[in-house]
Amino acid sequence: IEKFDSWPLLLQLSDEGMTIFYNKFKYNVSPKVLGNRTEFQRVASLLQDTVDFDIDVNASVFETNIRVVGGLLSAHLLAGRAGMELEPGWPCSGPLLRMAEDAARKLLPAFQTPTGMPYGTVNLLHGVSPTETPVTCTAGVGTFILEFAMLSRLTGDPTFENAARRALRALWKTRSDIGLVGNHIDILSKKWVAQDAGIGAGVDSYFEYLVKGAIMLQDEELLNMFQAYDQAIQNYTRFDDWYLWVQMHKGTVSMPVFQSLEAFWPGLQSLLGNLDSAVRTFQNYYSVWRQFGGLPEFYSIPQGYTVDKREGYPLRPELIESAMYLFRATGDHTYLQLGFDALESIERIAKTPCGYASVKDLRDHQLDNRMESFFLAETIKYLYLLFDPTHFLHGGGTEGDGSWEEGGDGGQCVLGAGGFIFNTEAHPLDPAALYCCSRHAQDHQELRDILLSLSQPDGRSKPPAKQTEDPPPNPSDSIALKPGEKRTPPLLSCPVQPFNARLSIFGQVFTDNT
């Protein structure tokens, strides 16, 4: 799984930026290798030639989704920038998209439960084991909507998005009377096994995906869910701009600790415009970083020190991720200082001849003999993007410099114009791709019919001609084009807009006498 985590980074970092960045890190690696299109193409070809998901392996449903499916989708959407040859109709077709779909289908048996909430583990060849435990963490139920919705919109198969939404709605119904969710749940009985409520480990990316899903999909239901949770979180878990763990039914404090995974929260708040609260919480977390040169996995807030057996720092990205978002939101150079401190700390504490090691104990900076894949996939990426505010992933660049790409049949949609949404493994997804493919074929057809009727010589509306070409696909079948297959361009195509923008288009094309 970890092989999929960091290779899209090769394309996302520019040569010039890589030179500056890795000179700081003193890597003895040419930036041409890590920032080069040909290396991205080589790895993409290698994956297509060697990866087979029909294997007898038990895999984490959560991790496979965020790393494998998310990594492949991201790489697919970045393939044009990499100079790869694109199939007709891209991004609605392509080899990396088919691989992502294949991987996601291997996960679908886990969702075939009475509640719709997925098991935590699935065998890629045989499905869910009869002895598989029904207990899984909250994040393992609610962290699919970004990847599965993108996959459904690109392939035209609603199965994936429907599965993710069903799981989200089932989880939503299990919240306590005071509006909180616990840490681990039995997906069959819907009973909470671990009733600690917080924003950290086991729960974090559930809240993250409600916000990012609402933004990417322009989905009011997801936003309303998060806002209800946020009100309960602020009421019961927030103390002096720290967020503690409480009992989900009573709201009483169960663990007065800060977990390093919680450091994503200020960045998430900034996406919703809650800057005052985000800034204060970030300062609390940053004070812990300055105390140790990193964030311990657990930090006792009353004692102001690490928790026994939780003193390590595996070079996690969350605080740096929040710094990136907050710097973009405020322009405050405090967040650049955090980035500089992080570079200095990692270079001084974690560097080894073979890479950068996890810190086993922040008290004496003892190292562990491992480097997590998220160090490359997330930590380095967010550091780089913190110092490069004009990067294309931020929407940087100007018209005519190659930042924008045409996509869909006949180049009917524009991609790469900004607004990328990062999944929880920092794989960027382009929201513009949601509106390129046949998921919205009916919207296309309605708009064509209206415009064609208004273009009749006598100015009168005529019933739309019966559609004989390109019938709507069977929802259970993928509409991704096979290699070499071509689709007839439509008679009239217009850019597909999000729902709210589409309303204005319809309002403009109607005339008084229609």
For the CA atoms of 406, 408, 412, 418, the dihedral, rounded to the nearest 10 degrees, stands at -50
Q: Residue 16 carries which side chain, given as an amino acid letter?
A: E
φ, ψ for residue 228, nearest 5 deg: -65, -45
Q: Report whether 334 belongs to an annotated binding site.
A: no
- Radius of gyration, alpha carbons of the chain: 24
Give the list of residues 6+ apart from residue 355 with CB closer than 8 angstroms, or none: 371
Strands 245-247 and 253-255: antiparallel
DSSP strand pairing (298-300 vs 305-306): antiparallel
Question: How is residue 458 written in tokens?
Answer: 């006598």
Q: Is 63 a catalytic residue?
A: yes
C-alpha of 507 from chain center:
34
Quote the CA–CA distance of 47 and 51 in Å, as a whole number.
5
Nearest 5°: the CA angle 369, 371, 372 is 130
Alpha-helical (H) ranges within 237-331 are: 265-271, 275-292, 318-330
Tell me which of 87, 297, 409, 430 is the catalytic residue: 297
Which is catalytic among the residues 101, 147, 157, 318? 318
Closest CA to 136 of 201, 181, 183: 183
- The C-alpha atoms of residue 447 and residue 353 are separated, in whole angstroms, by 60
Q: Is 405 noted as a catalytic residue in this protein?
A: no
- Rounded distance, CA 271 to CA 209, Å? 12
Exposed, middle or buried by CB within 10 Å (0-12, 13-18, 19+), for 341?
Answer: middle
Residue 257: in which H helix or E strand, if any?
Answer: strand 257-259
318 is an active site residue: yes
Active site residue 297: yes
**Helices marked H in 307-348 — which ranges?**
318-330, 334-345
d(CA 229, CA 372): 31
Q: Which of the following is catalytic: 87, 196, 204, 230?
A: 204
**Among 437, 417, 400, residue whose Cα is nearest residue 87:** 437
> How many CB atoms within 10 Å of residue 68?
27
- What is the greatest pairwise CA distance in the chain? 84
Q: Of 288, 318, 313, whose CA–CA distance to 368 is shortest?
A: 313
Residue identified by tokens 């919480």 is: 281
| Known binding positions for Ca(2+) | 424
* Enzyme catalytic residues: 63, 204, 297, 318
| Known binding positions | 424
